[in-house]
Structure 1
Amino acid sequence: MEEVSSLTRLRFQQVRLTAHLCARLSRFGGTRSLFQTLGKNNLLEHALLGFNSIFPSFEAAKSYAKRYKVASHEHPGNTAVHLELNQAPRPSDYPVLFHMQNLLPEVHSVVDIGGSAGNLFYCYDRYLHFDPQFSWTVNDMPANNRIGARIAGEHHESRLHFVDELADCEPVDMVLISGALHYFELLPPEMMRALKRPPRHVIINRTPVIEGETTITIQDAGFYYAISPARLLSRKALMQSMSDADYEVVDEWTVPDLHFDIPLHPECSARYYSGFYFRLRSPENRPAREN
């Protein structure tokens, strides 16, 4: 049973209801400028929408989230929801399955960053039939890793592994970050520096990117009482960081069934999530660096 006070539950209900009403009202063109004006008043915004606001940094968002005294990604419902959602592929999984199927002759190992209990391994294995030597490593929080390792043991699954630290992962051919990038403060190249070698392939799926500047907020789990700092990443910043790390974009797709609204900041909201497949450039195709 969740140890959440009645006052906190009431506040969550009020915030969720207000956010829902704002989302409905935002469908009318005349309300956009009104929301932007209201969003400039921080006291009013936090009074009406609490954590559904924007923050100057991840640290500021984390500090604000602590006021609610609820769980974050370590909530046991988080793993349960992901296992349930990935009983079958979602529409946004099919671009990943398509590319992974074509890459299987050269991809024999994957690290799944933020991969929960390994739910995507089980889902994708039903269609791609990974061979016995295939290695899928999940890098997640220790509590989630323990749950995942227990489930893998129950399934006698030797291809699935879990590490608390990315540096503990063996060299891999592919990095997969699905539904998780927006919870990290680091950009993908910064995260991958912990790996023993740069992976040739990087797939990022189900993450909100926007055309404007990167925006920090707090995301409501929705299914239970849990909130997490999150980032709506500037598409330009993502593309530039990957290019600077010598990756080229091979494919890009939209995820229309997911969106990320910041009620009083429609200009910072994501109308849909996105997915990307990046490939490491061959040495001869890498741009010359200035000394």
Structure 2
Amino acid sequence: MAGQGSRIRRIVKEIRELPGISVLARPWVRGRFRAHRRGNAYFGVYASYADARADIPASLPADYDTDAAAGLYEDRLTTIETSDYPALFWLRQLIDAGERRIVDLGGHVGLSYYAFNRFIAYPADLRWQVHDVPAVMRRGAALATERDSARQLEFVDLAAVDGCDVLMAKGALQYLEYSLSDLLKRQQVLPRHLLVNLTPLHPTRASFTLQNIGVAVCPYRIGSLAEFVPEIEALGYRLIAHWEHSERRVEIPFHPEHSVQSYHGFCFALADPS
């Protein structure tokens, strides 16, 4: 039955995107997108973050900076998802090699800090610094008073990126108004390593769409794989590893040419950290 349902949904999607029919179907699909309340849904293609944000319905929050968003995902404090393992592997290698200050960009309430601790013996001098939106960091700081007995977790502003040992962005780059390369260009001292995971990249096209996560609608960056690695390498990094998550996709109604068939992860090292 599940397979039959999947085939029916695929046929309906193909029909609604036929020329002529798509004009009639678009308002209905947009209405369903606005009413979406569970999981992730996508709509629209935009040239910039500002263009995408301007098209968010006024009745819905336009980012994660809400108490409802801060309460999401706390079931992941003690669980590891399949998509976490590449980042877990490389972070363990980096910590074993002596890296001690981790900046977890978009790290929510410290989800990876708590979950990875089951598999990595954190050294006593480790500093794990999370930067996220204010509502999420407030929730994270309150949670840390209860759960972080080692007192190694901090919630910091974006200036902490400067000179850190590892900048980790796990499923976060797509929500930022700035790109990773733009962020790095603003640093006086570049991070020694970059650990990126769960990032949607199209083979050639860069664009923005809107993502409805149920409690908010956010501009959602889709980068170009053809541009992403060269931009980082141009700043002095060398690529250590690249992996794909083929189970993750972004399907944008009426825009199959902009849809994404897999998410990506990377580990970079600064070629000359001195």
User: Same fold, TM exceeding 0.5?
Assistant: yes
Please state which band the TM-score falls in when normalised by the shorter chain.
0.7 to 0.9
Cα separation, 2, equivalents of 1:212 and 1:241 = 14
- Is residue 205 of structure 1 aligned with residue 197 of structure 2? yes
Q: Which of the pair has the greater relative contact order for Cα pairs under 8 Å at 6+ separation?
A: 2
Q: Give the alignment of 1:240-279 within 5 angstroms.
A: 240-279=230-269
Correspondent of 2:130 among 131, 134, 138: 138
**Paired position in structure 2 for 1:72:** 63
CA change 1:60–1:170 in 2 (3 A) is: closer
For 2:211 and 2:222, the matched residues in 1 are separated by 10
Which of 52, 58, 83 aligns to 2:49? It is 58
Look up the SS of the partner of 1:231 in the other structure: strand
Q: 1:192 aligns with which of 184, 189, 204?
A: 184
The question of whether the paired residues in 1 share the 8 Å contact of 2:110 and 2:153 is answered with yes
Deviation at 1:251, TM superposition (A): 0.8
Q: Which string of whole-angstrom CA distances, capped at 9 and with x for unpartnered residues, describes residues 142-190 of structure 1?
A: 1111111111111234110111x31145731000000110111322122
Give 1:48's aligned residue.
29
Q: Which digits, 9 at most, give the CA deviation of each residue in 1:102-139, with x for residues without a partner?
A: 22222111000111101110111111111121000001
User: How far does residue 257 in structure 1 lie from its aligned partner after superposition?
Assistant: 3.1
Q: Quick one: distance in 2 between partners of 1:80 and 1:112?
A: 18
Shift of 1:59: 0.7
Structure 1 residue 71 displacement after superposition? 5.2
> What is the deviation of 1:265?
0.9
Helix, strand or coil at the partner of 1:167: helix
Q: Deviations over 1:203-248 (max 9, x none)?
A: 1101110112101110010xx3311000111111211210111112
Please list, as runs of the form range in 1=range in 2, the aligned pairs for 1:80-119 lying within 5 A after superposition: 80-104=71-95, 105-119=97-111
In 2, the alpha carbon distance for the partners of 1:26 and 1:84 equals 35
User: Residues 262 and 161 (structure 1 numbering): CA distance in 2 closer, same or farther, change over 3 Å?
Assistant: same
For 2:216, the equivalent position in structure 1 comes to 226
Cross-structure match for 1:162: 155
TM-score, with normalisation over the residues of structure 1?
0.79
Q: What aligned pairs does 1:18-33 form with structure 2 within 5 A after superposition?
A: 24-25=9-10, 31=14
By how many angstroms is 1:77 displaced? 3.5
3-state SS, counterpart of residue 75 of structure 2: helix
1:45 and 1:167 map into 2 onto residues whose CA distance is 42
CA separation in 1, counterparts of 2:160 and 2:181?
A: 17
- CA RMSD in angstroms, aligned pairs only: 2.9
Letter in 1 for 2:252: I
Tell me, in whole angstroms, the C-alpha distance in 1 between the residues paired with 2:11 and 2:99.
44
Cα distance, 1:258 vs structure 2: 2.1
Alpha-carbon spacing, 1:158–1:36, altered in 2? closer, same or farther (3 Å): farther
Please, which moves more after superposition, 204-213 or 72-81? 72-81
The gaps in structure 1 that reach 5 residues or longer are 1-19, 285-291
Of 173, 178, 181, which aligns to 2:170? 178
The CA deviation at 1:194 is 4.5
**For structure 2, which runs of at least 5 residues remain unmatched after alignment?**
34-42
Q: Percent identity?
A: 26
Whether 1:35 and 2:17 are equivalent positions in the alignment is: yes
Normalised to the residue count of structure 2, the TM-score between the two structures is: 0.83
How has the CA–CA distance of structure 1 residues 44 and 99 changed in structure 2, closer, same or farther, with 3 Å as cutoff?
same
| Structure 1 residue 197, shift from structure 2 partner | 1.6
